C-alpha cells in the first residue's frame, strides 16, 4: 500500500489496521473512549501549529486530526451505526442547510443576519433530531434548562467560562467596562488569601476558580481570548525556563542543584534579553 491523495486510501488503511486477524494489535483493541483523548490532543496540536504559523506542521496535524475522524467512523461502521460516508453526507447537508443565503438564494446580507438565521436553523435541526431519535426508539437527549442550558459542559474550562459569560451578557448580566472587574479580581484575591489561611482545600479550590472566572471576564471585555493569552504566557514561560536551563548547563550547573535565587537571576536575565529584542 502506498501513500495517496485519495481519501479512500486512508479509509482502506484504517480498515486494514482494524482487521481482527491481520490488523495492528493496538488499533484493534481501541474504543471510542480510549481514542477520545487522542482526538482532543490532535485538535490542540492543530491549534498550536496555527499559533506558530508553521504550515508544514499544520498540514501534518490536520492529517492526524482527519485520522481521528476516520478512526471513529471505522469503529462506528464495525458496530453497524454509521460510516465515514455518512459523516461526510451529514456535514455537507448541514452546511448547505445552514447557508441558504449561499445555496438557496435566501436573503442575509450582513454577518448579524447570517448569525440570526444560523441560530434559527440550528433550533429546527434540534427538533428534527428529536424526531429522528424518537423514530429509532432512542432515548431523548436530556435538555439543559435555562438560558445557559445550551453551553456544553464538555468545553475546556476557560472556553466554557467565556461562553457562559457571553450568553449571560446577552440579557444584560454583565459589567459595562473592565474597571469594575479589576475590583472583583482584587476581591477574589483577598478571599483566596483567607481560604489559604484557613487551610481548607475545598475553599481554596472554590476561590481559585472564582478568581480565574473573573480574569476570563476581563479578557472578554478587552477583546483578548483568555485561552490564547494563557497559551502565549505558557510559550513565554517555556522560553525563559529554557534560558535558565541552558545557562546553568553552560556554567556546569544543574537544575536540581541550582538555588531558587540563582534561577530567579537567570529568569530576570531572560526577561532583559526579550526587552532588548522587542
Query: The pTM is what?
Result: 0.62
Per-domain boundaries in the chain: 7-135, 157-224, 227-277
Provide the pLDDT for residue 242. Answer: 96
Provide the pLDDT for residue 110. Answer: 80
- Is residue 141 very low, low, confident or very high in pLDDT (cuts 50, 70, 90)? low
What does the alpha-carbon distance between residue 251 and residue 273 come to, in Å, rounded to a whole number?
A: 18
pLDDT of 159 > 70? The answer is yes
Same-fold call for 7-135 versus 157-224: yes
The C-alpha cell that represents 51 in the structure block:
499559533
The C-alpha cell that represents 77 in the structure block:
461502521
The owner of cell 460516508 is 85
- The domain 7-135: what is its CATH number? 1.10.287.1080
Coil/strand/helix, residue 154: coil
pLDDT tens digits along 171-204: 899 988 899 999 999 999 999 999 999 999 999 9
b/e code 206-241 from CB counts within 10 Å (16+ = b): ebeebbbbbbbbbbbbeeeebbebebeeeeeeeebe
Residue 57: alpha-carbon gap to chain centroid = 18
Mean pLDDT of 158-180: 91
What does the alpha-carbon distance between residue 248 and residue 259 come to, in Å, rounded to a whole number?
A: 11
The closest alpha carbon to 261, from 248, 278, 249, 274, belongs to 248
Q: 157-224: which CATH number, 3.30.565.10, 3.40.50.880, 3.30.200.210, 1.10.287.1080?
A: 1.10.287.1080
pLDDT tens digits along 22-48: 999 999 999 999 999 899 899 989 988
Coil/strand/helix, residue 166: helix
pLDDT of 139 > 70? The answer is no
The owner of cell 448569525 is 115
Amino acid at each position: 500500500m502506498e501513500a495517496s491523495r485519495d481519501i479512500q486510501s486512508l479509509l482502506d488503511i484504517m480498515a486494514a489496521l482494524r482487521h481482527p486477524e491481520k490488523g495492528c494489535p493496538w488499533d484493534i483493541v481501541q474504543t471510542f473512549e480510549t481514542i477520545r483523548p487522542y482526538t482532543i490532543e490532535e485538535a490542540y496540536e492543530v491549534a498550536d501549529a496555527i499559533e506558530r504559523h508553521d504550515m508544514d506542521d499544520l498540514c501534518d496535524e490536520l492529517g492526524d486530526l482527519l485520522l481521528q475522524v476516520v478512526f471513529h467512523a471505522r469503529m462506528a461502521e464495525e458496530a453497524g451505526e454509521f460510516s465515514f460516508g455518512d459523516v461526510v453526507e451529514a456535514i455537507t447537508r448541514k452546511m448547505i442547510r445552514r447557508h441558504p443565503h449561499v445555496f438557496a438564494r435566501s436573503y442575509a446580507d450582513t454577518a448579524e443576519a447570517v448569525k440570526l438565521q444560523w441560530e434559527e436553523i440550528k433550533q429546527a435541526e434540534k427538533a428534527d433530531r428529536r424526531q429522528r431519535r424518537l423514530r429509532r426508539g432512542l432515548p431523548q437527549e436530556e435538555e439543559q434548562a435555562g438560558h445557559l442550558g445550551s453551553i456544553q459542559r464538555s468545553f475546556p474550562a476557560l472556553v466554557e467560562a467565556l461562553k457562559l459569560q457571553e450568553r449571560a451578557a446577552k440579557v444584560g448580566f454583565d459589567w459595562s467596562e473592565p474597571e469594575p472587574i479589576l475590583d472583583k479580581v482584587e476581591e477574589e484575591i483577598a478571599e483566596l488569601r483567607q481560604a489559604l489561611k484557613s487551610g481548607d482545600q475545598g475553599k481554596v479550590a472554590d476561590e481559585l476558580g472564582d478568581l480565574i472566572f473573573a480574569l476570563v471576564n476581563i479578557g472578554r471585555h478587552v477583546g483578548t481570548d483568555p485561552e490564547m493569552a494563557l497559551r502565549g504566557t505558557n510559550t513565554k514561560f517555556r522560553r525563559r525556563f529554557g534560558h535558565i536551563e541552558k545557562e546553568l548547563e553552560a556554567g556546569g550547573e544543574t537544575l536540581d542543584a541550582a538555588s531558587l535565587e540563582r534561577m530567579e537571576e537567570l529568569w530576570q536575565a531572560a526577561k532583559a534579553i526579550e526587552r532588548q529584542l522587542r
